[in-house]
Amino acid sequence: MGHRSLLLLGLVLLLGACAPALQEVKGMKEADARASEDFVVVVAREGDTAETLAKRYLGKAERSWVITDFRDGAPIKSGDVVVIPLRPRRLGGIDGDGHQVVPVLTYHDIEPVSKNRFAITTELFEQQLKYLKENGYVGITLDELDRFLRYEQPLPKKAVVITIDDGYKSAKTIAAPLLKRYGFPAIFFIYTDFIGGGKNALSWDELRELKAEGFDVQGHSKTHSNLAVPPANENSADRATRLDAEIVATKQLMEKRIGADVRYFAYPYGGYDPDVVAKVKAAGYQVGFGTRKGSNPFFMDRYRLKRYNVFMEKDLTKFVQMLQTFEKD
């Protein structure tokens, strides 16, 4: 073996031994970071935040909660060693001695002056959004909730869903601007007979605008009758026709008028029975929401999810009680 070959062999052996110890970490000097399939361990530089690190290593600043949750909310300072999980962990929110549960809040009308318990004041609505923001709650979309329920995607520890029912005009004029100001997504569950039905109701144009602004618009039946309470003397054929109109035709009409998938259904008055649930499933909805009080674990029956009604009489103390995000096993 010549000297040159010996030299080359030596180099290859040395570099080969070295390779597994130092995997390349995009955007960082070797001295600052280590990586495996599961984690990046990085020394934070001046100006690094959970958002900048999430953008660099997880591809999206919006995934900063993955870093924040792993640190139990501890802020990041220059020189801190930050561990960044690269794979989904805590699927289903199983953690410590319990598991995550997701509260779904339900509003109806929002008015400067409340006329009944369904219409909460603008002031109270804003107070509640401010509370959520200041206390680390993260608004999630129904698609994210859907993936959580399928055990496919973990959620921020303090995930919350905001829904607004029926299709009142205030969803556009009051709720949407405040939701945007505080950075919360929301889902508007509408019943189609109400749309375009007067000065208090949203129009189809306004629904399309809300959709274009990033909000979600989903199904809440045609007439808002209680689907689990049939009218007197309704036979099974009439019931099937009625459920078709309330559940199937509503989906088709909404998809045509709004131009987007309708995959989620909120049962009017929270009423459902096995026939109603079967029809909702057959129509192609992925999730059904009732109004039984409570937060939802990932293994909750996806067609019988719970929601909390937020009424006018709910002051901040009562509101906070609804924000349960963890349950002991």
Partner 1 sequence: MALLRHGTLLVGISVIALSGCATIPTGLSEVGRRYEEEAQRFERDGRLRDSLERWKIVSAIDPQYPGASQKKTEIEAKIKEQSNRHIVAGKELLQRREKQGAQREFLAALRLDPMKREALELLYQSEQQLGEQTAFARPGRKGGAQAGS
Of 6, 74, 240, 278, the residue at the interface with partner 1 (CB under 8 A) is 6
Question: Per CB under 8 A, does 113 bind partner 1?
Answer: no
- Give kind and range of the element (H or E) at residue 264: strand 264-266
DSSP per residue over 102-157, as a string? B-EEEE-EEESS-SSTTEEEHHHHHHHHHHHHHTT-EE--HHHHHHHHTTS----T
Question: Per CB under 8 A, does 56 bind partner 1?
Answer: no
d(CA 40, CA 51): 15
Closest distance of CB 96 from partner 1, Å: 8
Q: How far is CA 309 from CA 105, 107, 237, 288, in A?
A: 6, 6, 33, 16
Question: Per CB under 8 A, does 286 bind partner 1?
Answer: no
Q: How far is CA 307 from CA 3, 168, 310, in A?
A: 76, 19, 9
Question: Per CB under 8 A, does 281 bind partner 1?
Answer: no
**Under 8 Å between Cβ of 113 and 316:** no
Question: Per CB under 8 A, does 108 bind partner 1?
Answer: yes
- Give kind and range of the element (H or E) at residue 320: helix 316-321
Give φ, ψ of 164 to 5 degrees.
-130, 120
Stretch that binds partner 1, among 6-14, 52-60, 177-185, 206-214 (CB under 8 A): 6-14
Question: Per CB under 8 A, does 224 bind partner 1?
Answer: yes
Closest distance of CB 210 from partner 1, Å: 19
Q: How far is CA 53 from CA 47, 296, 300, in A?
A: 10, 31, 33
Of 182, 311, 319, 326, the residue at the interface with partner 1 (CB under 8 A) is 311
Q: Nearer Cβ to partner 1, position 97 or 134? A: 97
Of 103, 139, 156, 290, the residue at the interface with partner 1 (CB under 8 A) is 290
Question: Per CB under 8 A, does 219 bind partner 1?
Answer: no
Q: Nearer Cβ to partner 1, position 104 or 176? A: 104
Structure tokens at 14: 């040395």
**Under 8 Å between Cβ of 139 and 155:** no
Interface residues for partner 1 in 61-90 (CB under 8 A)?
79, 81, 83, 89-90
Q: Nearer Cβ to partner 1, position 3 or 199? A: 3
d(CA 26, CA 30): 10
Question: Per CB under 8 A, does 17 bind partner 1?
Answer: yes
Stretch that binds partner 1, among 30-38, 136-144, 178-186, 279-287 (CB under 8 A): 30-38
How many residues lie near partner 1 (CB under 8 A)?
65
Between the CA atoms of 188, 194, 198 and 202, what dihedral angle is there, to the nearest 10 degrees?
Answer: 20
DSSP reduced 3-state for 189:
strand
Interface map 241-280 toward partner 1 (x if CB under 8 A): -------------------------xxxxxxxxx--x---
Q: Which residues bind partner 1 (CB under 8 A)?
A: 3-4, 6-7, 10-11, 14-15, 17-18, 20-22, 30-32, 34-36, 38-41, 43, 79, 81, 83, 89-92, 94, 99, 106, 108, 116-118, 151, 165, 224, 226, 228-229, 266-274, 277, 290-292, 299-301, 304, 307, 309, 311, 329
